[in-house]
A = this chain, B = another copy of it.
């Protein structure tokens, strides 16, 4: 029988991030993460495929938010309006309470090329999801791909600003500025 562990995924995730940040990602084992919160390695692997996935638990949520964002745009919306709706939905998923976690997570990723590859893959899946959903709404496929990929590039830039030291503005505000800057840049 599987024992019910209240909040086990959250506790494992928090402990993992702390260990990754202080001791190093490579140096931390799943058993040590579990031990840090009084759980067994078996419990860890009931919740996560491997220790890397602890850092990518939010991916499905972001993909869902992106899809909802695309579909929330009015029927007659321009491709840019659809993209903006998707980006608003994605950035809304990053609450200000989450900022310290996101900041530490990024520091861990920045130190490990394999994690950087995984992170880029996540963003690429997010872009592909938006592109497909836009195309399903009738946006021409090349336009949808271009909009989605550029939109995710803007998201990456906005996200890096959001986690910068001293930055106070919410991500939903920063993304608007970044899109304005992109417009000005291309002019």
Contacts and interface: CB of A to CB of B under 8 A. Distances in A.
Interface of A: 79-80, 83, 113, 116-118, 120-121, 123-124, 142-143, 145-147, 149-150, 152-154, 156-157, 160-161, 178-179, 181-183, 185-187
A185 B142 CA distance: 11
Contacts of A143: 181, 185
With a 10 A CB-CB cut-off, give which of A120, A152, A161, A178 has the most chain B CB atoms. A120
B182 A150 contact: yes
- Main SS at interface, chain A: helix
A145 B183 CA distance: 14
Nearest to A150: B153
A147 to B, nearest CB: 6
16 contacts: A79-B185, A80-B186, A83-B185, A113-B121, A116-B121, A116-B124, A117-B120, A145-B157, A145-B160, A146-B157, A146-B185, A147-B185, A149-B156, A179-B186, A183-B186, A183-B187
Contacts of A142: 157, 161, 181
Given A117-B117, A150-B153, 5 more contacts: A120-B121, A120-B123, A147-B185, A150-B150, A179-B186
